[in-house]
A = this chain, B = another copy of it.
Amino acid sequence: MANTTLDASPHTSLTDRLVAARAASIVLATANAELKNRALEAISRAVATGAAEIVPANGLDLANGRENGLSTALQDRLTLSEPRLVALADAVLDIVGLVDPVGETVRGRILPNGIRIDQVRVPFGVVGVIYEARPNVTVDIAALALKSGNAVVLRGGSAAENTNRVLVGLIQDALASVGLPRECVQTIDEFGRAGAHELMQARGLVDVLIPRGSASLINTVVAESKVPVIETGAGVVHVFLDESADEAWSVDIVQNAKVQRPSVCNALETLLVHRGAAARLLPPVLARLRADGVVIHGDDETRAFFPDAVAATEEDWQTEYMSLDLAVKVVADIDEAMEHIRRYSTHHTESIITNNLGNAERFLNEVDSAAVMVNASTRFTDGGEFGFGAEVGISTQKLHARGPMGLPELTSTKWLVRGSGQIR
């Protein structure tokens, strides 16, 4: 079904867009923080005061969405009301306050021959972002890319196409108002699926591609892209209650990790419990979860303590529910717990609750995840909580960035080498 669009902008080719992004990135790479911050302030003002343009476009997308059977939850994510615009504008202002990562010296020394070498942070250049119908991401990621000196090419979900076009237009006007190229921020939504595919093939024109959204979106990008990808992934997150786990900590941490915000990637999905502590810990832990409406999918031993539980199947151990469901399994010891984690974890976050120092250190050393915790809620794997000020996403890959990504993770480095005639 063809969606209604606000206007048809004059078509340039997608390659033209990418070439323009490269040219803009060269200007942006040497823009100082003061200029970039003025651009961010202008963007923030434009979003805060742009309701008259943004809300009708968003209304069109919402109408199309309802016509196309978009779920209520997705309609909510798509909605940009005036209060939400104000919040979005404030988030952009927060980025003004962050330290510019560009130019930071990572390490440096003087070589024996007198040459000085310094490794300094530089922008990637052109960053591509492929995401779903959440127009707040459009503003958010444009602001983070701008602050880190990167031109950005956005491919949002088609369900937000009208909203995104208006937002990108406002952002481009704001860029121009401070003398930066409009092409620092571009959308390629009007090129549709073919455009997303072309973006993934544009090695040499695009320096890095960041998919944000569902596991299936991320897997598609990872499989198809010839441009290097930073994978922000799914979380089949585990908590292991060791034999010596404190009861109050166990109850609080499991409840917090599962219930506080079940739809996010750092929420708990599988609880493992030491057999020697099951009788002591499972009743209070599960009672608290039941009070919050959590559906337990338990193995046989768990169901002995909690007969209401759904019988867990192999599929449960592999599932990122993102809902008030929890898989629960009783294990013999820390070895079986870590073996289960090795097999089913997506290497996002795992936490052990224990008072055994040796087990705490083993868990920290041997579990291979982006964040490995002792006696803390898995909900802390978060750029804001880690003090980064803003979060680009949580990387579950091992190359370049792992765990919460802040502004420095949107940069590369180069070596500056200063000599006085040295040769080998």
- A residues contacting B by CB (< 8 A) are 26, 29-30, 109, 111, 115, 117, 119, 122, 124-125, 203, 207-208, 222-223, 226, 228-230, 246, 248-249, 252-253, 255-257, 260, 342, 351, 360, 364-366, 368-377, 379-381, 385-387, 397-400, 402-404, 412-424
Contacts and interface: CB of A to CB of B under 8 A. Distances in A.
B414 A368 contact: yes
Contacts of A257: 423
Which 3 residue pairs across A and B have the least CB separation, nearest first? A376-B419, A256-B423, A398-B412
Given A253-B421, A260-B424, A399-B208, A372 B414 contact: yes
Given A124-B398, A208-B398, A385-B111, A420 B375 contact: yes
A373 B117 CA distance: 9
Given A222-B226, A399-B412, A424 B374 contact: no
Contact of A387 (B109, B208, B260, B397): B109
Contacts of A226: 222-223
Given A226-B223, A368-B122, A368-B125, A421 B111 contact: no
B223 A387 contact: no
10 contacts: A249-B421, A252-B421, A257-B423, A260-B424, A364-B416, A369-B414, A371-B414, A372-B415, A373-B419, A398-B412
Contacts of A417: 351, 371-374, 376, 380-381
Given A374-B419, A414-B371, A365 B124 contact: no
Contacts of A380: 111, 115, 417, 419, 422, 424
A109 B387 CA distance: 9
Contact of A403 (B377, B385, B414): B414
